[in-house]
């Protein structure tokens, strides 16, 4: 599933983030290009804001035509928080799906190779898989006063991205307990299930600020529109 129901207020655009264009294609379209170009993906549920349901369907249909995908694409309406949107997406999956990827539309330049690595690791037996990259900064944990309480060993830290991949049964069990988390792997960790980190990619960064829009446009070789 691709979650695209956030408002993206930090981007400062009138339309929700997933519908802001980069080089002429909405962010959602770029994200779908990556997902639908992966031969392992047979079904995509797009989770969109209610007012953009039709536009999401049109964008998906255009990308399917463009990349020659025959995947089934459906659009459902998201919720107030990201976790609510993922829960809505889960409810929209067809019964036969056993491996589920949860992808942020905002990570719109995620290379197909990352999608395929995640699918392959779940297919090989992992119940939950997240792409991640090593962190370059030393990370401090602080308390509410800003005082440092811990300095985790940097070599053990990973900055995680999407798509995150799961055995469907495990993700559904996690969401049955609670959907409140900044990432779905966090919910699965709370169940005591093992979460595997595979190599992510710098291009899977999340478009959040106007600077990120420019970076994405530059990576696509075109000025932002």
Q: Does 106 help bind ligand C5P (rule: CB under 6 A)?
A: yes
Chain positions 190 to 209 lying near ligand C5P, rule: CB under 6 A, are 206, 208
Print burial letters for 148-169: b (CB count within 10 Å at least 16), e (below 16).
Answer: eeeeeeeeeeebbbbbbbbbbe
Distance (Å, rounded) from C-alpha 102 to C-alpha 177? Answer: 18
Residue number of the CB atom closest to ligand C5P: 6
* Shortest reach from residue 38's CB to ligand C5P, in Å: 18
Distance (Å, rounded) from C-alpha 5 to C-alpha 18? Answer: 8
Q: Does 13 help bind ligand C5P (rule: CB under 6 A)?
A: no
* Closer of 120 and 158 to ligand C5P (Cβ): 158
Phi-psi region of 151 (alpha: psi -120 to 50; beta: other; left: phi over 0): beta
Q: Does 3 help bind ligand C5P (rule: CB under 6 A)?
A: yes
* Shortest reach from residue 7's CB to ligand C5P, in Å: 7
60-68, 98-106, 125-133, 165-173 -> range binding ligand C5P (CB under 6 A): 98-106
* Closer of 35 and 105 to ligand C5P (Cβ): 105
Q: Does 53 help bind ligand C5P (rule: CB under 6 A)?
A: no
Distance (Å, rounded) from C-alpha 196 to C-alpha 62? Answer: 34
Q: Does 47 help bind ligand C5P (rule: CB under 6 A)?
A: yes
* Closer of 87 and 188 to ligand C5P (Cβ): 87
Angle between helices 27-36 and 53-67 (to 10 degrees): 40
Q: Is 96 helix (H, G, I), strand (E, B) or coil?
A: coil
- CA neighbor of 183 nearest in space, from 143, 129, 145: 129
Residue span 56-85 as binding mask against ligand C5P, x where in contact by CB under 6 A, dash where not: ----------------------xxxxx--x
* Closer of 120 and 217 to ligand C5P (Cβ): 217
* Shortest reach from residue 194's CB to ligand C5P, in Å: 24
What's the full length of the chain, in residues? 225
* Closer of 151 and 208 to ligand C5P (Cβ): 208
- CA neighbor of 112 nearest in space, from 203, 46, 217: 203
Per CB under 6 A, the list member of 44, 60, 76, 105 interacting with ligand C5P is 105
Rounded to whole angstroms, what are the CA distances from 116 to 24, 119, 124, 137, 178? 26, 5, 12, 28, 28
| % helix, strand, coil for the chain, step of 5 | 40, 20, 40
Give residues in contact with ligand C5P (CB under 6 A).
3-6, 17-18, 47, 78-82, 85, 104-106, 206, 208
């Amino acid at each position: 599933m691709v979650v695209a129901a956030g408002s993206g207020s930090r981007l400062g655009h009138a339309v929700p983030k997933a519908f802001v264009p980069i080089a002429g294609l909405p962010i959602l379209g770029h994200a779908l290009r990556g997902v639908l170009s992966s031969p392992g993906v047979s079904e995509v549920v797009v989770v969109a804001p209610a007012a953009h349901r039709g536009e999401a369907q049109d964008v998906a249909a255009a990308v399917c035509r463009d990349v020659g995908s025959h995947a089934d694409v459906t659009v459902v309406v998201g919720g107030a928080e990201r976790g609510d949107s993922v829960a809505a997406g889960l409810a929209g999956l067809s019964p036969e799906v056993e491996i589920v990827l949860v992808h942020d539309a905002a990570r719109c330049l995620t290379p197909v190779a990352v999608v395929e690595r995640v699918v392959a690791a779940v297919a090989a037996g992992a119940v939950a898989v997240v792409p991640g990259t090593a962190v370059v900064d030393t990370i401090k944990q602080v308390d509410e006063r800003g005082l440092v309480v811990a300095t985790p060993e940097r070599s053990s830290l990973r900055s995680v991205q999407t798509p995150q991949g799961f055995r469907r049964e495990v993700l559904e069990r996690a969401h049955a307990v609670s959907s409140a988390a900044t990432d779905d792997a966090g919910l699965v960790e709370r169940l005591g299930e093992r979460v595997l980190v595979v190599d992510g990619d710098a291009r899977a960064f999340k478009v959040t600020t106007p600077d990120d829009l420019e970076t994405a446009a530059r990576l696509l070789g075109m000025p932002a529109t």
